[in-house]
Amino acid sequence: MADEISQVVEMEYKGVYYLFKGSKAMIALMAKAIKALTDRHHTKYLNKPGNCDWKKMQEISKGVPPILEFPKEMFEEKVIRIESDGTKIMKSDFDLYCEKYNLRYCIMPDLNPNDDYIPVAVPAQDVGIHKEQIKAVMERRISGEEDKDKVLDAKIVMAKEKIANATSDVEREAAEKELAMLLDAKSENADLLKESKEKMEHENEIDFAEYLKQGEGSLFEKDPEKALAQEEVCGIVREYTPYDCMWPVRDEDHVPESGEVFYSQTTSDEKIHMIKREFRKDDTGHIYSEYKVRMPGSSEIKIFSDYGLSKEQWKKQIPAMLKEAGLENGQKTAVVQSEERFKKYQEYVEANFRKASEGETPKEASECSSEEAKEFVNAHNRSVSDKTDYEETLYSTVAVPVAKLMPDGEEVMCMEISEGLVKGVMIESMDSKTAKVFIKDDATYSVTKHDGTTKEMKGSDIAKSVTDSAKEAISKVAGRGR
């Protein structure tokens, strides 16, 4: 209970003073986040004329700047002109008005990538201009959601009439499925409408603590520095339990732009188990999902569909699907939108397998201006478990042509060697020609031979087998590149 008591703490970091209010845990997170955001140069949006990094925004604001949540449609780019050489110049509404008023801003790491807003830090003197633009977009969004609610009400009445007037069991069953999906769609739209109105009540402004809370279920919650490293590779990835993220989606506004979602769990044996969800629309416009599960040890794909099922009915189907996919309901499940992001996330996870035992040297709180802040930072340092240094000798590093690497049907990275295809290798880095691959010397790998049979090989034997042929192949590739 003592930890939940709100406290006020002053801290200074790299010439900027902060005043934090909250529980010890929240203040510790805010301190870590400030350090991570200040030390890491966020480059994702720096090509935009007015965008600057977090450190610069703090200097402008003389502390933590206001954070506004912008509707994502404000960042949708469109063609504003075509150059004489045919080049299309693309800009968003956000870009255009920021350039018009010469505004500076800092597009923040999106700690909640699955929502419909983008957090942006802005100088206090520019808040009014931004809020005026946001208000116009939010009013259009709310109007659209209110209109959709009326349309859904009319469709629900029609579906109920179909059930009442059905002349056969087939007709009645089809109408009942339609009604179930419409009721879920109305509920989802109501949630969106409520969220939109609540954000408008606060003029889409959140404080720094509220921003950090959006990182719940992600790396940012425990280690902002690692989370920002992940953000640069594949974006911030949040984790949920399957029951919390696999509900039916009936509202089109809840469907991601990619039209797909990848759910994955990483097991203790360093394997990634995955379910691919694809969003579909039937002939009458109803949204449903197909979950594709690749059966272990084969190329067969089993499809589970939530078409016509209510949330409660679909909930009963989830355990069987998880079992087929090798996932567990009680385990954290990473949720990633789009295949491109999932592949990058997979590479990130595999690269971190070998670093799992690396420890961190806790930093002293020497840059804190008050004893209270110093106490919190030191307490955090003491809570970090002692970890042994990672023993590099456990791994062999080999350089191989990129053409020798490929994912198998289960999205597991494989490497081709003379004996066959080695499953489960880890990539440290790669360019257009070669890749650096880690082989765990004392691990046993499954190798699919050219005749389709499998055998097991020690990592040390694989490293020995691949070295000479890899060097020869790299020499040939380099020669062609000259």
Residue 416's pLDDT is: 86
Residue 354's pLDDT is: 55
Q: How far is CA 407 from CA 412, 415, 431, in A?
A: 5, 9, 17
Residue 355's pLDDT is: 62
Query: What does the DSSP assignment read for 343-355?
Result: HHHHHHHHHHHTT
3 state SS of 309: coil
Residue 198 DSSP one-character state: H
Burial status of residue 240 (CB atoms within 10 A of its CB: 0-12, 13-18, 19 or more): middle
End-to-end CA distance of the chain: 67
Kindly report, residue by residue over 101-136, the tens digit of the pLDDT. 999 999 999 998 888 899 999 999 999 999 999 999
Cα torsion at 53, 56, 60, 65 (round to 10°)? Answer: 50
Cα torsion at 21, 27, 30, 36 (round to 10°)? Answer: 150
Residue 177's pLDDT is: 93
Encode burial over 315-342: b for 16+ CB neighbours within 10 A, e otherwise: eeebeebbebbbbbeeeebbbbbbeebb
Single pTM value for the model: 0.67
3 state SS of 22: strand
User: What average pLDDT does the chain have?
Assistant: 81
Residue 395's closest CA among 361, 349, 356?
356
Read off the tokens for 49: 């004329």
Residue 50's pLDDT is: 76
Residue 386's pLDDT is: 36
Residue 68's closest CA among 151, 158, 150, 138?
138
Domain spans of the chain, in order of start: 1-39+366-390, 44-214, 225-353, 395-481
CA 297, 300, 306, 309 dihedral sign is negative
Kindly report, residue by residue over 152-195, the tens digit of the pLDDT. 999 999 999 999 999 999 999 999 999 999 999 999 999 999 99
Beta pairing class for 405-407 and 395-401: unpaired
Distance CA 80, CA 376 (A): 51
Unique residue bearing structure tokens 């007015």? 50
Segments of the chain with pLDDT less than 50? 1-3, 45, 357, 359-370, 372-373, 376, 380, 382-394, 470-482
Residue 216 DSSP one-character state: T
Distance CA 159, CA 172 (A): 10
